[in-house]
Amino acid sequence: MLKINSYEEFKETLKNKKPNQDWPGSLKSLWYDANDNWEASHNIAQDMHNKIGSWIHAYLHRKEGDTFNASYWYQQAGKTFPTLTLEEEHQFMVEFVLKK
C-alpha cells in the first residue's frame, strides 16, 4: 500500500492516472473527486455503508448543489451541514481518513 501521511502528499498523487488500488474506498473516492470525476467518487461513496461513506456522499451532493440530498447524508453521517468551503471540507475529510 502506498502510505501517505499528509494532505500535501495526497495532492501529489493526483498526477497519477488512478488512485492506489490498496487504498480504502474513502480515500479513493476523495481522490476521484479531487480529479474532477464526481461520478466515480459518488459510485464509491454510495456503496460505503458507514459514517465516512455517508459524509463523502453528503459532500458530493453539496458540491453539485443538491442541499436537500446533502442534508440527508450529513444527518446519516452524524454531521451538521458545514460552513466550511468545499475545498476546506475535502481537505478535512482527507486528513480524517489518513489518521485512521
Per-residue pLDDT tens digits of the chain, which is 100 residues long: 468 999 999 999 999 999 999 999 999 999 999 999 999 999 999 999 999 999 999 999 999 999 999 999 999 999 999 999 999 999 999 999 999 7
Q: Check if the beta carbon of residue 20 is closer than 8 Å to that of residue 29.
A: no
pLDDT of residue 100: 79
CA distance 21 to 18: 8
Torsion, Cα of 25, 98, 36, 64 (10° steps): 80
- The owner of cell 476523495 is 30
pLDDT of residue 42: 98
CA distance 57 to 76: 10
pLDDT of residue 3: 81
pLDDT of residue 86: 98
Architecture of domain 24-99: Alpha Horseshoe (1.25)
pTM: predicted TM-score of the whole model, two decimal places: 0.94
pLDDT of residue 1: 46
- For residue 53 the three cell numbers come to 461513506
What residue segments make up the domains of the chain, in order of their start? Answer: 24-99
In terms of residues, how long is the chain? 100
